[in-house]
Amino acid sequence: MSILNRCSYTLIAAIGMNLIIITSNIDVSAGAIILAVSIILAAIGKLGFELPILLISASLIGADLIPCL
């Protein structure tokens, strides 16, 4: 397994955090949101839901349209 495959999720999160910092909207809570969404999706995924449902759930939870915390 290449290093790019193993670290792709970290790369995606880092790109998102860089965009937040570059646009001068320095917000430390973005990392907490990434962590919370990851934990919730891991729990939902363990129940056997399909990938499209997980992606839609991640978008809604991350946009705070589904209050779960």
Domain assignment present for residue 39? The answer is yes
Domain assignment present for residue 36? The answer is yes
Domain assignment present for residue 69? The answer is no
Domain housing 27: 3-62
How far apart (Å, rounded) are the C-alpha atoms in residues 13 and 49?
23
Closest CA to 55 of 1, 7, 12: 12
Domain count, the chain: 1
List pLDDT tens digits, range 22-55. Answer: 887 666 677 777 788 888 888 888 898 888 888 8
For the entire predicted model, the pTM comes to 0.57
